[in-house]
Structure 1
Amino acid sequence: MATLSMTHIRTSNSPSGFSLSCSKKVYERPSRVGFKVFASETQSSSEPDLSVTVNGLHMPNPFVIGSGPPGTNYTVMKRAFDEGWGAVIAKTVSLDAAKVINVTPRYARLRASPNGSAKGEIIGWQNIELISDRPLETMLKEFKQLKDEYPDRILIASIMEEYNKAAWEELIDRVEQTGVDALEINFSCPHGMPERRMGAAVGQDCALLEEVCGWINAKATVPVWAKMTPNITDISEPARVALRSGSEGVAAINTIMSVMGINLNTLRPEPCVEGYSTPGGYSAKAVHPIALGKVMSIAKMMKAEFDSKNYSLSAIGGVETGGDAAEFILLGANTVQVCTGVMMHGYGLVKKLSLELKDFMKKHNFTSIEDFRGASLQYFTTHTDLVKRQQEAIRQRKAIKKGLQSDKDWTGDGFVKESESMVSN
């Protein structure tokens, strides 16, 4: 039996001014009009339903290919759809690919073993890779081809431009003409071209972010996700700015600025290019706890200040198992992105993720993603509150032990004290 799924088409968006200070009022975004309607097969009623609808975008599961090498061309994105990924976010594009020149090697790995060992488990991955070096025209042609072949699957374009309103508007217009379902704005690339006010250079400056988001959201006609950088003191601040400036969602986190290590034999940094290197973006399993913390911070802010029905959170960071994904969803994420995990394990990873997530859901009798999304967020509090809770718990435990629990506990020697222990005044 088929059900109707809706791909949301945004028609207009006029950002309004605001203060960066927190507001107690829940912010509701305007309703959108216009939908594409597709048919999709329903899940068996005996199995947990992994499907999600995010900003009007229907996906068969919450697993999304994160922007990067796994979404770098038509061939690999087609493979992702064929393997069953819920959505694909293409590698970031800009107007002029000629200024993007990558080097190789551009990756370095951290293993759970002594420096230089090639045998330990890979727990960290660093890249010094730039955005797409393929001509925009080529990428646009492939976006259109993918949407023609997979009209009911979600394709999201990741875009990044210099601090230039006309350039952003041109890029958005050209990308949207291919039929992509949404835009993810790269405000978070930690390396590359900060001198041109690109990537994290915008995401780390809330005033600049507000202005650029205003340009983007005034132009875009499809849902917009703003991708956040973790290389900032309080990630909830730029997330708040992006949402209040008209974005439907935020994605977090991008990679963490790092130096992977020094080869103790050659004394050269890694990844090593002609004997030299540069700081890059850190990802994989080792960043997962950091990503959880950042996502939790954003989720708490969104829950307090925004209408969760109209805004979304896409979580990224060290996802290699269904349990990793479940943790992000328990914190409030609508979708979970995977990039480095695909580079390490291949596109078939989505099947393992789906099976493990279903096993988790069966264990707790959850039938849908919404049954447990955000369920763990309530258990985060302040250290001061933890102290109070523990003191109260200790007091209650002592109170429970006060007095006799049974007639058999009475003794002759302590009879008077035992009596007094059960007096209330």
Structure 2
Amino acid sequence: MSVPDLSLETTVGPLTLKNPFLLASGPPTASGEQIRRAFRLGWAGAVTKTIVPDAMEIQDVSPRFAAWKDESSGLLGFENIELLSRKDESYWSGEIAAIRREYPDRVLVASIMASPDPEEWQEFACTVQDAGADAIELNVSCPHGMPERGVGAAIGQHADLVREVTRAVRKVAAVPLIVKLTPNVTDIMPVAAAAVDAGADILSAINTVQCLMGIDLDTLEPRPSVAGASTYGGYSGPAVKPIGLKVISQIARELPVPLMGIGGISRWQDAAEYIAAGASAVQVCTAVMWEGAGIVREMDRGLSGYLAEKQFAGVGALRGRALPRIGTHASLSRSIYRFAAVGFPERCISCGRCVKACRDGGYHAVSIVDQRVAIERDRCDGCSLCSHVCPEGVIVMLPGL
């Protein structure tokens, strides 16, 4: 029997979305036509590529992307050193107004960045608000290029500067105000609290993680190589999801503010995890660049089916369900013990990976006997390393007595 689909309508503070999926600010929202296509495919909302005042020169380099892939060319991590929108204020004012007329049931968020002067942020916020944007997202978190000019993460890494910019825009903003946070800080909470204190209606997190993708060992050029040189860029893709989940759950546990989760979301399962960690909606960028905007269809179907299967009434019923289980290390149980066991011996291919792992990274409890894995329970410390390195899923963790 098929599981009936549920409505995925969700609220994020003052915003109502037909589903929790938005395109994040970036290359997939670099033009009005891309946003229109996304809305036709089923995305509930989109955040424009960050719009800047005409006086702020934006000139990209080439190439500006680098990828970390698995053996099947599946994406693990992605770096970009792309800057903000190269389209001018007039273009975006016209496109925002047109898209709002054409898609009145979708949410269009204008991402903006201005100079360090709070008054310029105010003026620019009024420009996109007057054009018809449903909400404004303050980009105080871009980790490359813009911090050199005193903006982006150069603002977002300092709680006092975030408070100043947010408060300034709050004075003129009649639409919901979103602040996009950077993970490139020691502690996210002072910055998040400053944004909320200054009047942010919603927080979105995370922007990309500053990184250096790698070094070409033939040429010794860093990647991406721009005429033989490079710079630190923004890291995204599946590898950053654990960082995004950590930040969203931290904020959700401490602050009463609606959240949009960003980082490493490519499947409905990723979105469900973010919602369970406290997000009301999610923004997606890298997966769309890698697989196309059509991924929203499967994300929509998958999440709807999951909620129905788990008998959740909707997205709101899942929101934050994992938070009571996230605490301090000291609060974790020392009385509940699990041990490694051979759960599926017929799958064992005698590769020996579990033996090496336990010998050199564990407690020497695993061996190969008669071409099958064997585990000495008296030696097993329950760390679970062997179950993770096994390529065939032979080893399982069982509760101890």
TM range (shorter): 0.7 to 0.9
Partners of 2:300 and 2:144 lie apart in 1 by 32
The match for 1:83 is 41
Larger Rg: 1
Once the two structures are superposed, residues 93-143 of structure 1 have per-residue CA deviations (whole angstroms, 9 ceiling, x without a partner) of: 111265111111110000124xxxxx5321111000111111111111111
The match for 1:374 is 320
What is the TM-score of this pair, normalised by structure 1? Answer: 0.77
Q: Which of 73, 95, 103 in structure 2 is aligned with 1:142?
A: 95
SS of alignment partner, residue 8 of structure 2 = coil
Matched, 1:278 2:231: yes
SS of alignment partner, residue 237 of structure 1 = helix
SS of alignment partner, residue 151 of structure 2 = coil
Asked whether the equivalents of residues 4 and 308 of structure 2 are also in contact (C-alpha less than 8 Å), the reply is: no
SS of alignment partner, residue 95 of structure 1 = coil
Matched, 1:48 2:1: no
Partners of 2:149 and 2:233 lie apart in 1 by 17
Once the two structures are superposed, residues 364-385 of structure 1 have per-residue CA deviations (whole angstroms, 9 ceiling, x without a partner) of: 1112001111000000111111
The match for 2:342 is none
> Which amino acid in structure 1 is aligned with residue 190 of structure 2?
E
Once the two structures are superposed, residues 52-85 of structure 1 have per-residue CA deviations (whole angstroms, 9 ceiling, x without a partner) of: 1222222110001000011111110000110110
Matched, 1:328 2:281: no
The match for 1:265 is 218
Q: How does 1:279-318 map to 2 (within 5 A)?
A: 279-302=232-255, 306=256, 311-318=257-264
* CA-CA distance at 1:149 after TM superposition: 1.0
The match for 2:75 is 122
Q: How does 1:332-347 map to 2 (within 5 A)?
A: 332-347=278-293
Moved over 3 A (4+): none
Partners of 1:163 and 1:195 lie apart in 2 by 12
The match for 1:101 is 59
Q: Which of 66, 70, 73 in structure 1 is aligned with 2:31?
A: 73
The match for 1:172 is 125
Asked whether the equivalents of residues 5 and 301 of structure 2 are also in contact (C-alpha less than 8 Å), the reply is: no
Partners of 1:219 and 1:195 lie apart in 2 by 28
* CA-CA distance at 1:356 after TM superposition: 1.4
Asked whether the equivalents of residues 80 and 347 of structure 1 are also in contact (C-alpha less than 8 Å), the reply is: yes
Task: Among all aligned residue pairs of Structure 1 and Structure 2, give the percentage whose two residues are the same amino acid.
Answer: 40
Q: Which of 172, 175, 192 in structure 2 is aligned with 1:222?
A: 175
> Which amino acid in structure 1 is aligned with residue 161 of structure 2?
L
Partners of 1:172 and 1:98 lie apart in 2 by 15
> Which amino acid in structure 2 is aligned with residue 358 of structure 1?
S
SS of alignment partner, residue 167 of structure 1 = helix
> Which amino acid in structure 2 is aligned with residue 104 of structure 1?
S
SS of alignment partner, residue 390 of structure 1 = coil
Asked whether the equivalents of residues 210 and 241 of structure 1 are also in contact (C-alpha less than 8 Å), the reply is: yes
Q: Which of 336, 349, 362 in structure 1 is aligned with 2:308?
A: 362
SS of alignment partner, residue 141 of structure 1 = helix
Once the two structures are superposed, residues 164-209 of structure 1 have per-residue CA deviations (whole angstroms, 9 ceiling, x without a partner) of: 1221111011111111100111011001122432111111011111
Q: Which of 175, 192, 202 in structure 2 is aligned with 1:239?
A: 192
> Which amino acid in structure 1 is aligned with residue 273 of structure 2?
E
Partners of 1:165 and 1:207 lie apart in 2 by 12
Once the two structures are superposed, residues 380-404 of structure 1 have per-residue CA deviations (whole angstroms, 9 ceiling, x without a partner) of: 1111111xx333x58xxxxxxxxxx
SS of alignment partner, residue 384 of structure 1 = coil
Asked whether the equivalents of residues 248 and 274 of structure 2 are also in contact (C-alpha less than 8 Å), the reply is: yes
* CA-CA distance at 1:314 after TM superposition: 0.3
The match for 1:415 is none
Partners of 1:122 and 1:263 lie apart in 2 by 18
Once the two structures are superposed, residues 217-246 of structure 1 have per-residue CA deviations (whole angstroms, 9 ceiling, x without a partner) of: 111110001000000011122111101110
* CA-CA distance at 1:263 after TM superposition: 1.1
The match for 1:159 is 112
SS of alignment partner, residue 100 of structure 1 = coil
The match for 1:187 is 140
> Which amino acid in structure 1 is aligned with residue 306 of structure 2?
F
Segments of 5+ residues of structure 2 without an aligned counterpart are 338-401
Partners of 1:369 and 1:288 lie apart in 2 by 20
Asked whether the equivalents of residues 321 and 353 of structure 1 are also in contact (C-alpha less than 8 Å), the reply is: yes
Partners of 2:56 and 2:186 lie apart in 1 by 34
Partners of 1:201 and 1:152 lie apart in 2 by 35
Change (3 A) 1:229 1:274: same
The match for 2:344 is none
> Which amino acid in structure 2 is aligned with residue 234 of structure 1?
D
> Which amino acid in structure 2 is aligned with residue 295 of structure 1?
I
Partners of 1:158 and 1:290 lie apart in 2 by 22
The match for 2:329 is 383
Asked whether the equivalents of residues 4 and 305 of structure 2 are also in contact (C-alpha less than 8 Å), the reply is: no
